[in-house]
Structure 1
């Protein structure tokens, strides 16, 4: 993966395909390969005639690892995503994020409305407003001596995944502690771009999509049937719904 510098942070990214660009922002503990390549998103979007751009968020994948929670404020990570589009000379594009990446995408839509043509928030509903994302017990799980020492089920799941992918667990612990910002209902109401809120019907992490969409001037809901938080990422209903949204809106 190529990299570029945003201040002191080196960010790895992909830029593949031809056509109208779309930026993808992955979730906590994941990376471009796991969130977007493996589940088939990159190929799906390329086949649909899209130029696909995606970055490894700071602390993840091939990007710089930082160990102070303050370095993972959601506004800073939104700034990384904006810097990538600026680096590539992209004036305006739809942005799609999943889970933490959806939170980053919402902040980006507010911070740089000039860049964000539309926004897809996957795996994040009303908890953008009334919740701070994943619990801090996940940070404790990352710092535990071994997986066997983790008893919290959610923490154990994320720790096992981090061990499997060889992630920097100390960086992930800092990230989960530092990226716990919400938006107010008034701020969400200023996200005026076309928006799609896509959440699995069995997702207990995201929060309900309908109440979030109701706060936005131009948002719709996509229910991903019978999917929990992680399995919803690569679901065909999700892919079909996003492609239909982009086509319907002429994006």
Structure 2
């Protein structure tokens, strides 16, 4: 693992595997409340990419994993995280990367790719038409305010929105900093993303039973030349489907 300093003086942790000087490194950005290893290593995606000969770097987003965790919402938002990815490219000193993001990380990846010509190929996972209609993760299933309340309440039995309960239970299970997560949840991206500016070939992939990623084909239609693919599973299990890892490896091999 290595860390790099951002332009706003936070330290961002990155986990690295493999060694491939001939092709761009694959940068992986995880979903809300997870980390690089939880989202990408545990389900076997890192191993699949390394077995295919790729160098893989999984970032821990600010507020997550081994990265710095301020409690001030001013340090958060997917647009700021997209800048972190661009600054990671600077830190690596490489001319291009392949970029994959899941859920929150997918929003980060879309914003980054809409601004950053150094993204060679792009994989967007765990989101769907909500990106087109709301500008970010589909909050129709569980509002941001409900997640904030679930994270900050002292008594789990007082969580008001049933769909927010899993977010709290997961945060507790992994020992996450709930105040840092609540800061991010309070400023979740909800502005239009200029996806017509994305020039990288793009794959949109989602679980067929994922309420946060309905109609991924409609998201793909908003990105020039993008394709979409469904795999079995919901928001948490789809990323562990063998077809998910296989699709990423094959798409990034082109």
TM-score past 0.5 threshold: yes
Deviation, structure 1 residue 231: 0.6
Does 2:201 match 1:194? yes
Query: 1:74-104: per-residue Cα shift (whole Å, max 9, x none)?
Result: 2110011111121111210110000000000
Deviation >6 Å, runs of 4+: none
Deviation, structure 1 residue 182: 3.4
Partners of 2:79 and 2:189 within 8 A in 1: no
Deviation, structure 1 residue 221: 0.6
1:233 corresponds to which residue?
239
Partners of 2:15 and 2:37 within 8 A in 1: no
Q: Which runs of 5+ in 1 are unaligned?
A: none
Deviation, structure 1 residue 188: 1.3
Does 2:58 match 1:49? no
Deviation, structure 1 residue 205: 0.8
Partners of 1:69 and 1:179 within 8 A in 2: no
Does 2:151 match 1:142? yes
Partners of 2:210 and 2:234 within 8 A in 1: yes
2:215 corresponds to which residue?
208
Does 2:91 match 1:87? yes
SS for the counterpart of 2:186 is helix
SS for the counterpart of 2:229 is strand
Looking at structure 1, the residues matched to 158 and 170 of structure 2 have their Cα atoms a distance apart, in angstroms, of: 15
Q: Decide which of 104, 112, 119 is 2:122's aligned counterpart.
A: 119
Looking at structure 2, the residues matched to 36 and 85 of structure 1 have their Cα atoms a distance apart, in angstroms, of: 19
Partners of 2:48 and 2:246 within 8 A in 1: no
Looking at structure 1, the residues matched to 125 and 191 of structure 2 have their Cα atoms a distance apart, in angstroms, of: 16
Does 2:173 match 1:164? yes
Q: RMSD of aligned C-alpha atoms?
A: 1.3
Looking at structure 2, the residues matched to 215 and 163 of structure 1 have their Cα atoms a distance apart, in angstroms, of: 36
Looking at structure 1, the residues matched to 78 and 158 of structure 2 have their Cα atoms a distance apart, in angstroms, of: 30
SS for the counterpart of 2:55 is strand
Does 2:9 match 1:5? no
1:181 corresponds to which residue?
190
Query: 1:126-164: per-residue Cα shift (whole Å, max 9, x none)?
Result: 211212424211111000113222242221101011111
Q: Which runs of 5+ in 2 are unaligned?
A: none
Does 2:224 match 1:217? yes
Q: Decide which of 37, 60, 65 is 2:41's aligned counterpart.
A: 37
Looking at structure 1, the residues matched to 86 and 17 of structure 2 have their Cα atoms a distance apart, in angstroms, of: 18
